[in-house]
Structure 1
């Protein structure tokens, strides 16, 4: 699930920062099944301070013994992207949570949070963006890519998504649109074959993939990496080994994943 525990390397951020703790009621507007075990829910808040692409929120469901403890989920949508009102949020959540939220019709939200993983165009300018996600780590990167696509002038964007199987690949249609309509470069990597007849897995992302697909360190790209802890540590180490400065590598990983999705 898109439940995050941050561990990040960048110290500079432009735009709205984390808001002090304040729980707000959010109404459930709609839902969409994503992959087995996950739904996307759309929430509306009557009062919302705004957020940056890449940030997350804490949520809880009062009256539920299972969901009373706050849990963190990345926001799927960039603020205002696609004409979506800025007080609406899209979250990718486990089916069990969706069922309980649908029963109640509302939940409580605290945020936005996650300053260092957040992105605003002013901090990158016309420098390239390199986004690398493992499994559900694609969620905040999708928000960043959507915010990038909305900019009239922008640098190049390259997005790599590592996933165990095609059946667990989140937001494949939106990633295709980013590539076809906005000029982003997108690479999806299937790491394991789960049944006979499926495409052969190509293995995990390696140094050669980063050098062949990503921008060179001389272009000063800003790199965002999100996914399981071992995945994030491996990718960040490889980025540094080929010359990307540590201050341009931002990392974050999930506490819980959909069956270790990479």
Structure 2
């Protein structure tokens, strides 16, 4: 890279982005490179930064990202020394984000990046706080699809959050609204209910889904069921305790300049 090209990169990355794209990734070396390339080629998102959170990967995921950092302006890498889980990785990425709007998608590449403009679009008007993608066709094993359908049905019946596919990783939200939420492990699967708990506005958008290029899923049906049952009870308790005590959607401070006094 020439000195002039390097200077151009420094100037671009110093600007405040319009959108931060957070990608939690653990052992996704086979998928993360092509995913970054796809995102960087998308038009219509404004100035973006791509934040990959390496959640204790042992397969060189971080090395793949570092190899593209000189080629993709705004690409950032944050690493966890140990595996902390998807919710923790998302939280790390959102805390590091510099844009007011954040989008998330899974590091396995199964969320088509081409859907990002449609998911982010409703946020730009200012009246929506969370846009939740809902997969219209699943490219998973029949057992995963069945387990997901049962889990989503139970969750929807208990939380009444209007979401049929809360496990979809493709979402977009206001950063400040997300950071107001109570944090707990696996919270990424309950974002619509948690946003609704705060009196925030949610919109759902149908998105695609595709097979993995490589690697394997880090979740088992049994593990999800055990953790999901405890999480569901906890979220139900949170919603119950918040009734009648919702905070305002936005807070505005009115200041008076000295010459007006």
- More helix as a share of residues: 2
Which of 1 and 2 has greater Rg?
2
Higher relative contact order (CA 8 A, sep 6+): 1
Both structures adopt the same fold (TM-score exceeding 0.5): no
TM-score, structure 2 normalization? 0.32
TM-score, structure 1 normalization? 0.32
- More strand as a share of residues: 1
